[in-house]
Chains A and B, each alone.
Chain A
């Protein structure tokens, strides 16, 4: 067992600990700001056709829009000493009501082209096994509000 005297602690261990503490803080900060947590809000599976007369071709479509968390904006504004920023965020929130999933986005039509995108992926076949997932990738203040569609395009097998 090591028996460090008080001077050894201050001369050797304390600077080492301080160095590692700085690195740990840096690491924690990086984890806080660089990672993104993923949340699922809704999953839906459509009818599946697996008849042998069709050949399935899988496809994936993903559309997304940036969401803004006004509560976090307000909290950061308050932490920086700006009460008006928090008030502004609260004022904006008054216009965003109703049931929602995820954070508000400023282009509410971002998922409207999904049908067109499915048509583009499967212009001449039947679409089967459609799975739609509404998910969110969350970063500090902003988020990615995502709709993901996976499915199979069925085309008649040439015999």
Chain B
């Protein structure tokens, strides 16, 4: 019984945890006025490396623009990360792009 529990715990520990990897970071010129912060995130879940397009990142710029209509977004910090679930095989991974910037109206 104890061994069964131990096996279940080991399975949960390896199956439910996730490892996150930072793949790239970039930053543009930071403005003096930093009162309004805008953020956009796009992500895609990938099962066992079967990913056929990377279009999810294309709309990031439009997302930021829609939050700062008629203004200028600068000081944009872009982070691209990858979270791998079921770490033994990376059976399920999530690619996530986050962009944060300052909006000047």
Contacts and interface: CB of A to CB of B under 8 A. Distances in A.
Say if A and B assemble together: yes
Interface of A: 35-52, 129-131, 133, 135, 148, 150-152
Interface in B26-75: 26, 28-29, 49-54, 57-58, 60-62, 64-65, 68-74
Nearest to A58: B62
Interface on chain B toward A: helix, strand, loop, or mixed SS? mixed
A46 B71 contact: no
Contacts of A152: 61
Contacts of A131: 57-58, 60-61
Contacts of B61: 45, 48, 129-131, 150-152
A38 B46 CA distance: 10
Interface in B47-105: 49-54, 57-58, 60-62, 64-65, 68-74, 76, 78, 80, 95, 97, 99, 101
Contact of B28 (A46, A51, A151): A46
Contacts, number: 91
Q: Which range contains the number of B residues in contact with the other chain?
A: 20 to 34
Contact of B71 (A36, A39, A51): A51
Contact of A49 (B50, B58, B72, B99): B72
A102 B69 CA distance: 37
B69 to A, nearest CB: 6
Nearest to A40: B54
B58 A37 contact: no
Cβ-closest 3 pairs across A and B: A42-B24, A44-B26, A48-B73
A129 B65 contact: yes
Given A42-B23, A131-B60, A50 B65 contact: yes
A49 B101 CA distance: 12
Contact of A38 (B54, B97, B99): B54
